[in-house]
Amino acid sequence: MTGLRQGPQDLVENLEQHADLINLPRIGSSDNFAFPNMQLNISPATAAGSGKWKASYYAMLCKYLIYVSATSLQSSLGFFGGHHIDGGDHEGTFTSMGVYSNLSEDCDPGYFFLLDIMVCLRLDPGITTFFCALCPHGGTGPIYTKGKPRQTDYRLIVVGYPVRDLIEGTGILPFAALPGNNDGTRMIRITPEMTPDA
């Protein structure tokens, strides 16, 4: 929240007032007025040249910028491991992404791309970035360049994001997944009528 508060003051004030108005759940901190949903992305380090990596690591980064996906992340994150947009996010705010990793020195942490504006960020531990997830974005996984990875060589990214239906109070939200094939139909859902402020 400290980083967001350094952004446009009108936006920050509007988000905070809106969160109070609709009684937006404060996830993780009573100061969190902007990110009612959190997701943890866990990406294992892979060897350079392994899996679907067909060229050198840096050549693959260049190819990624022209929408050829570096698919090492897709094996651990599925659809969200490639380039994508988050079409269910709210238009009036940002997504936050914080990197919390303890990779060995032989690991390159990977990169995050904002494809429409051609920005590339190295995902070093401790950085947080804010961006509009309604624009194309994606990334690469961590790569160990020599030796063997430690058992703890995983990159951890926490994403805080503004789901449109929750921000607007108009949707049916999943509360929990039921056992079995999780195709989106096996969920316990909460409708707006079931919330205390309906």
* CB 116, CB 82: distance < 8 Å: no
Residue boundaries of the structural domains of the chain: 35-162, 165-198
Nearest residue to 51 via CA among 78, 74, 68: 74
pLDDT tens readout for residues 54-98: 344 444 555 454 443 344 454 544 444 557 788 888 888 899 999
Q: Helix, strand, coil proportions of the chain in percent (round to 5)?
A: 20, 25, 50
Beta bridge partners of 115: none
pTM, two decimals, is 0.72
Nearest residue to 87 via CA among 134, 25, 139: 134
Q: Give residue for tokens 């690469």.
A: 140
Which band of pLDDT confidence, cut at 50, 70 and 90, is reported for residue 194?
Answer: low
* CB 56, CB 108: distance < 8 Å: no
Sequence-separated (6 or more) residues with CB below 8 Å from residue 189? 172, 173, 174, 175
Determine the 3-state secondary structure of 141 from DSSP: coil
| Helical (H) or strand (E) element with 53 | none
pLDDT tens readout for residues 93-135: 899 999 999 899 888 898 999 988 888 899 999 999 999 999 9
Beta bridge partners of 99: 157
Hey, what CATH topology would domain 35-162 get?
Jelly Rolls (2.60.120)
pLDDT tens readout for residues 12-33: 999 999 999 888 888 888 899 9
